[in-house]
Structure 1
Amino acid sequence: MKDRQILILGVAATAILLVGGAFWLNRGPSGGDEFAQCRTGVVAGGAGALGGAFELTDETGKRVTDTQVFTKPSLLYFGYTYCPDVCPLDSARNAEALDVLDEQGIDAQAVFITVDPKRDTPEVVADFTENLHEKMIGLTGTLAETDAASKLWKNYYKLNDDGTDFYLVDHATNTYLVLPEKGTVEFFRRDLSPDELAERVACFVEAS
C-alpha cells in the first residue's frame, strides 16, 4: 500500500513538472507571448530571431534603413521582378490582403526586397511595385546588400545566372509579418488566400 502511494505521488509530481515545464516554455524567457493566440508558424529560435538592421535602396533611388521602412505593419517578401509566376502571384496576394485590411481600418503595407539586384534596378522595381499596389515598397541594392538582408530573415535563394537575360532564381516563398518596434512576429505560407492572410495579420495587429 505504501509503495502504491509513493508511486501515485511520483506520477503526480512528474505530471506537475511536465505541465509546469510546458507552461514555462510557452511563456518564453520574457514571461509571456502577447501573440500566442495568433501564432501558427514555428521558427527555430522564435520569430524574433528573424530580421535585423539593413540599408538598401528604394524604388526612388533613396537609401533607406529598416527603421525607415517598417513604420507600419508590413508584409515582407523576397523575390525578383523577372520571376515568371510565383513572385507576381504572391505579391498580388499580399496586395489584395492590404485592401482587405484597409477595409477593416488597419493601415498596413507590403515590402518587396529583390534577390536579383543585377536586373532589378530601382526603376525596374518601381514599375513592378507600382503595378501591384500604391502601398508596396520595393527595395534593391548591391548583391552584397540584398544577400545580407535575405540572410537576416533566413531566406533561401539561389541565382542561376547563366549569362543570359532570362535566367531564373530559386527562392523561398514565405511572407513575413514585421511590426514597428516589435520586429518580425510571424511568417506565412503562400497557400493562404488574401482574406486568410488579412485575418492572420489583423490578429497580430490587434494584439500589439
Structure 2
Amino acid sequence: MKPAVLMVDVDGVVVRHPDPSGWSARIEEDLGIPRHALQDRFFKPCWDDVVHGRAPLRDRLAPALAEIAPHVSCSQLIDYWFEGDAHLDEALLSQLADVRASGTPLHLAAVQEHERASYLWDTLRLRDLFDGIHYAAELGVSKPSPDFYAAVEQRVALPAAAIAFIDDTEKNVQAARARGWNAALWAPGAKLRGLIPELYG
C-alpha cells in the first residue's frame, strides 16, 4: 500500500552537520564558551524541560550563560547555534521533492524545542518543502515514546499503517514499527526507493 504521508526526522537526516562533533565543536574558540560547561550547566539539567515544552529556551539558557559566559547573550548563542546547525542534505531533499511531486505529502517529525522548530520552518523555509511539522515541545513528548507517534497519528488523522517514516536513530525506527508505521533507518547517501519502495508504487 502506498503511504498516505511520509514523516521525516530533522537532525541527522534533513539537517546533517559536516563535523561529527556538531555545531558546538568550535564554540570555545568562537564565543569563549567552554563546551563542557554548556553541557553541564544547560543541556544536562535543563534540556529535557526545554525540548518537551515545559520551559522556554531562554528562561533556562540565560542563567547558565550568566554563570559560564556572562559576555555572551542568549541571542548571540542561539544565532550561533541555529545558523551553525543548518546544513541541509540537498541530495535527500531532491529525493523528497520527487516523492512530494508524486502526490505523497511530506511532514517533519522531530525532537525540537519551539525556537529552533520555528527557525527550521520559517527561516530555513522548510515550510516550502514540507506540508507539516510535528515536534516534541509542541506535543509534550518525544521519540521513541509510543505517545509521540500516537500524537502524530492524531494530528494527521491517519492510521499507523498509512504512515511512512525515516529516521537516523535505530530506537526511533523500531518504536515507529512497533506502532505499525512503515519505518526505515536513514543513512547519508541512501536511496528512498530502496528503503521504502511503497512510496513509488
Fold match by TM threshold 0.5: no
Structure with higher strand content: 1
TM-score (norm 1): 0.36
Structure with higher helix content: 2
The structure that has the greater radius of gyration is 1
